[in-house]
Amino acid sequence: MQVISFSAGEASVQGYLQEDHDRLQAHKVRPALVVCPGGAYLYCSPREKDSPALYFLAMGYQVFVLEYSCGARAGGYRPLRELAETVVTIRRHAEAWHLDPHRIAVLGFSAGGHLAESLGALWDDPELALPSGCRPDAVILGYPVISTGPFCHEASAATVSGGDPAVRAKLHLPDRVGPGHPPVFLWHGGEDTSVPPENSMMLAAALRRQHIPFEYHLFETGAHGISTCSAEVETPDEVCRAWLALCGTWLNRRFHFTP
């Protein structure tokens, strides 16, 4: 494994890359995944960084973890621009990093899910004018913040909007799903009282209205912030842990990738 790092605006990105071995010919070019941790746009949660990154690395993906701008620096669409630049940078280095520029997914948890879905929904927004080539090829969302209106997580909505009502309205993501939206894998725990499951339900309904391919799992159990649902991240949950295998199957099928 090779570990690399680069900057995306004011953000930092750490990449975990599979080694290229002459004797291994099957996976010279691999899919890639960008992980966006949660943390209410106030911080990047450590339990949602390396654990999911290493899971998908073990699946054979090239994986990157984005430490995006938080707190007072989260306004002005800065985290979204940083994620867009991250995707563009990965595409620009596709050959050197042995990855397919047409198979790049973004994975986000909680507020990081809001960030990942913002790129999926707003990549071509003319007002934002994000860089060409920033559209992800798939979006994966775990207990995401989706609404900045009903059922919203107020700290996330207030921080990412910087208190600007127009920005907050723009970032109400059920209203932003359009025909060019990438496919989505979506899951939520039914016991989540921090970011209510209605967030995911609203997004699933919006995706269905626009005929966007998606897979949605609402588990009976599952609180907030459970990441890979393991003892390693101190949130073991045998029921919700199924999201990892389900997502892996969905993403491999979507990317025509056989680990």
pLDDT digits 0-9 by tens, 16-42: 999 876 555 556 799 999 999 999 999
Residues whose CB falls within 8 Å of the CB of residue 119, separated by 6 or more in sequence, listed in order: 80, 83, 84, 87, 106, 130, 134, 135, 136, 139
Three-point CA angle 122, 181, 149, nearest 5° = 55
Q: How far is Cα 88 from Cα 252, in angstroms, rounded to an integer?
A: 22
Q: Give the right CATH number for 2-255 from 3.40.50.1820, 3.40.50.10860, 3.20.20.70, 3.40.250.10.
A: 3.40.50.1820
In three-state secondary structure terms, 54 is helix
pLDDT at 179: 93
Compute, in degrees rounded to 10, the torsion defined by CA atoms 227, 39, 13, 233. Answer: -30
- Of 40, 140, 136, the closest CA to residue 84 belongs to 136
**Dihedral pair phi/psi, residue 8, rounded to 5°:** -130, 95
Q: Cα separation of 68 and 50, whole Å?
A: 15
Question: Strands, E, within 77-231: which ranges?
Answer: 99-109, 138-142, 184-189, 214-219
Give me 88's structure tokens: 């563009």
Structure tokens at 201: 């339900």
Low-confidence ranges of the chain (pLDDT < 70): 21-27
Q: How far apart are CA 253 and CA 41, in angstroms?
A: 32
pLDDT score recorded for residue 24: 55
Q: Are strands 214-219 and 99-109 parallel, antiparallel or unpaired?
A: unpaired
**Residue-level pLDDT at 33:** 98
CB 207 within 8 A of CB 173: no
Q: Domain limits of the chain?
A: 2-255
Using alpha carbons only, how large is the chain's radius of gyration in Å? Answer: 17
Looking at residue 27, its pLDDT comes to 61
Residue 133: the pLDDT is 97
Q: What does the pLDDT read at residue 1?
A: 87
Q: Which residue has the tokens 């699933």?
A: 204
d(CA 236, CA 158): 30
Count Cβ neighbours within 10 Å for each residue of 36-53 and write b for 16 or more, e otherwise. Answer: bbbbbbbebbebbbbbbb
pLDDT score at 26: 56
Query: What is the reported pLDDT for 28?
Result: 76
